[in-house]
Structure 1
Amino acid sequence: MNIKKPLVINQPEVGELIRELRLLTRLTQEKFAAQLGVTCLTINRWENGRSNPSPLAMEKVESLLVEMGNRGENLLSRYAD
């Protein structure tokens, strides 16, 4: 059985990753928040380093990165250990 290791990125890198992903997808904080099922204020807090995404939110972020293909994988490789 292959158990997937959760994506763990600490601040400030996770905020930078979230911002870059949002900008690559050309979404506002509001639209990006809706896609992840969180509030716009939550996205703002993540991007500004005031809080970290939950493990579930990070799963959604990772899924978005994978869906983006090479661009997403390149972005992920810059931030993930």
Structure 2
Amino acid sequence: MGQIIRDLRLAFGLTQEQFAATLGVTYTTINRWENGRSTPSPLAMEKIEGMLEKIGDKGKDLLAKYLRN
């Protein structure tokens, strides 16, 4: 899960702080997700999937790779 969070954040060109603000969580939360120390809540996952869909083919590729295997 951490890798998809990082890949999505980088696809949007956001820092961990900026990505956290976009999702309505703290920087520490993003850092924990990316480092595998915790996982996103169901609500956060909905927001993440929505962001993946917004970036078109790259997002679809990430969804297929990480979430819909």
In the superposition, the TM-score normalised over structure 2's length comes to 0.95
Q: Which amino acid aligns with 1:68?
A: I
More helix by share: 2
Q: Distance in 2 between matches of 1:20 and 1:71?
A: 10
Question: 1:41 offset after TM fit, Å?
Answer: 0.3
Select which of 15, 22, 27 maps to 1:35.
22
Question: 1:47 offset after TM fit, Å?
Answer: 0.1
5+ residue gaps, structure 2? none
Question: 1:33 offset after TM fit, Å?
Answer: 0.2
SS in structure 1 of the partner of residue 7 of structure 2: helix
Residue 48 (structure 1) aligns with: 35
| 2:11 is the alignment partner of 1:24 | yes
Residue 63 (structure 1) aligns with: 50
Higher normalized contact order (CA 8 Å, seq sep 6+, divided by chain length): 1
5+ residue gaps, structure 1? 1-13
What fraction of aligned residue pairs are identical, expressed as a percent? 62
